[in-house]
Chain A
Amino acid sequence: MRIRNGWAALLLGVPLAFMAAFFLVPFVVVVVASFQNAAGEWSLANYARILADSYYPNVLYTTFKLSLLATVVSFLIGYPIAYYIVNVVRSRAGRRLCYILVIMPLFTSNIVRSFGWIILLGRQGIVNATLVTLGLTERPIPILFTELSIVIGLTYILVPFMVLTVAGVLQTIDKSLVEASLDLGASRFVTFAKVTFPLSLPGVIAGSLIVFTLAVSAYVVPSIMSGGRTVVMAMSIFEQYGSLFDFNFGAALAVGLLVVTLILIALSLFFIERQPSGRQAVQ
């Protein structure tokens, strides 16, 4: 059924007005505020302050380093799960069980999920108890409240997004291509490396971008899992808005984080596209 443009404009009008009023305009307010000082005059002082010493560049570096690590680990854990669900599990019941296990954590709060890792990773926690019992270490090692625990916590939050995105693309791969490769005598390993994996690259790229963006802006997990010893950008932004009430500087930090993230994503897509195999993956 085609909808005439007049009716369509009517259907779209209220939703669009809503998004403009409560999403676009607030966002413009932030950008404008980042270029103003406390007195409301135009100024670049907020951005100059970010670059004034090494503190915020370091925070930014830590944020991107931990996010990149979490993205790589999420891929290593998530890809096999997605492959297994789509290509190995035969029964619909089995597939549903796997999806339930993947989606369940997605339906619980980040705070609850981080809390689970606090119990697991503490000095008296199960991970340390297991390491001591196995004789891998003599006394409990500090895992909680380190950068490692932040990466574990972030990965835990992000794996489901990677699985769902990669599985979505793996499903669309034409099975006859895989059969042709096997019929022509290639082993399953070669078939995976030369057919399935290259065809799934768009999913890997999309999944990695989603996971990386979510990791960069994560607030709850780093706050809980760092014990306050490591600071990431989201924590700095909230500090300005929530406890120091410097909205202008907070706005500059938020815009800065957003701009640097977009530049990194654009650069990585640019380099992927320059690879011959990557060009198809992006398109």
Chain B
Amino acid sequence: MMMTVSERIGRACLVIVVWAGLAFLTLPLAIIVAVSFTETEYLKFPPQGFTFRWYERFLADSSYLESIGLSASIAFGATAIAVLIGVPAALAITRSSLPGRGVVNAIFLAPLILPTIVIGAALLQYASALGFARSYAALLLGHVVIVVPYILRTVLASLARFDQSLEEASLDLGASGVSTFFLVTLPIIKPGIVAGALFALIISWINVELSIFNSTASLMPIPVKLFNYVQYAIDPMVAAISAGTIYVAIVAVVILDIFVGIDRVAASQK
């Protein structure tokens, strides 16, 4: 349909506002990457020269590498446990007539709405009472709780879209329920699991609010370490470490887009 002059002007204004908004979202990340290459001893924008010195300095500091290793181990561990919890739960919630399914669903999704800082505090208090406060186990269990909803949500969405006649065909042809799940259901809901797992990995990898309650000087995920550092000093090395985490985010987004399609993921994450 033809647009009038005022509609064209309106459309142009919208485009300007939107791209200003998208620039607002991108600018701070681009700035960090830019200043991480500066040759100056302090943060300077625009950066002067080009050097990998700050990256070399943080890679030479074993405490940062330990923090990165700890964060990665928690992220992968928590995601793996969350998949084992979320997928069976999603199956039971969508495919059975068990009473109380709605309440169960609400319990699994509650960590999304409840302030993470309250979950962190609760876990510290609980773990103190049971004697495992500020330990790897406390960190791991807390991360499982906050990432389970991401898995459950995407798997529930895949199961809802699912053509159930495929499963019926498999059962009619004599396959058992268990082999139908592994041969028919699982391959079809796999994109949902992958998308949910990738979100879960990232949510755990970037978490500060929960981890900070159960961290110690020798048990400190990388975002908590950065948080403590930034409060006392900001220098190009912090920029280099931060830029490193941005590269991880870029890789994760690209993987999501290639394997699942970022627009589909976005639609399932509302």
Contact = CB atoms under 8 A, between A and B. Distances in A.
Given A1-B177, A11-B89, A25-B126, A84 B118 contact: no
A116 interface: yes
A1 B183 CA distance: 13
B43 interface: yes
Of the candidates B43, B95, B270, the one having the most CB atoms from chain A within 10 angstroms of its own CB is B270
B189 interface: no
Contacts of A216: 115
Given A5-B97, A16-B107, A84 B18 contact: yes
Nearest to B71: A109
A241 B118 CA distance: 10
A247 B227 CA distance: 23
Contacts of A125: 45
Interface in A124-177: 125-126, 156, 159-160, 164-165, 167-169, 171
Contacts of A3: 91-92, 95-96, 177
A270 interface: no
Nearest to B13: A80
Interface string A81-118: 10110001000100110111111111111111111111
A109 B206 contact: yes
Given A5-B97, A33-B125, A104-B26, A188 B7 contact: yes
Contact of B11 (A88, A102, A112, A113): A88
Contacts of B234: 115, 118-119
Contact of B22 (A23, A81, A188, A234): A81
A111 B249 CA distance: 14
A231 interface: no
B21 to A, nearest CB: 5
Nearest to A214: B115
- Interface size for chain B: under 10, 10 to 19, 20 to 34, or 35 or more residues? 35 or more
B32 interface: yes
Interface string B109-145: 0110111111101111110110000000000011011
Contact of A30 (B122, B171, B242, B249): B122
Contacts of A81: 18, 21-22
Interface stretch (B51-59, B60-68, B207-215): B207-215
A251 B238 CA distance: 33
A8 B89 CA distance: 8
A51 interface: no
A3 B180 CA distance: 12
A148 to B, nearest CB: 15
A24 B107 CA distance: 8
Interface string B171-191: 100000100100001000000
A contact patch SS = helix
A237 B117 contact: yes
Contacts of A99: 262-263, 265-266
A100 B262 contact: yes
Interface stretch (A42-50, A217-225, A271-279): A217-225
Nearest to A169: B270
B230 A115 contact: yes
B202 interface: yes
Interface in B233-266: 234, 238-239, 242, 245-246, 248-250, 252-253, 256-257, 261-263, 265-266
Given A105-B29, A112-B32, 15 more contacts: A5-B97, A11-B89, A15-B86, A80-B17, A88-B11, A104-B25, A104-B249, A110-B209, A115-B234, A203-B270, A213-B115, A220-B209, A242-B212, A242-B213, A254-B118
Interface of B: 1, 3-4, 6-7, 10-11, 14-15, 17-18, 21-22, 24-29, 31-32, 35, 43, 45, 85-86, 88-89, 91-93, 95-98, 104, 107-108, 110-111, 113-119, 121-126, 128-129, 141-142, 144-145, 148, 164, 167-168, 171, 177, 180, 185, 202, 205-209, 212-213, 223, 226-227, 230-231, 234, 238-239, 242, 245-246, 248-250, 252-253, 256-257, 261-263, 265-267, 269-270
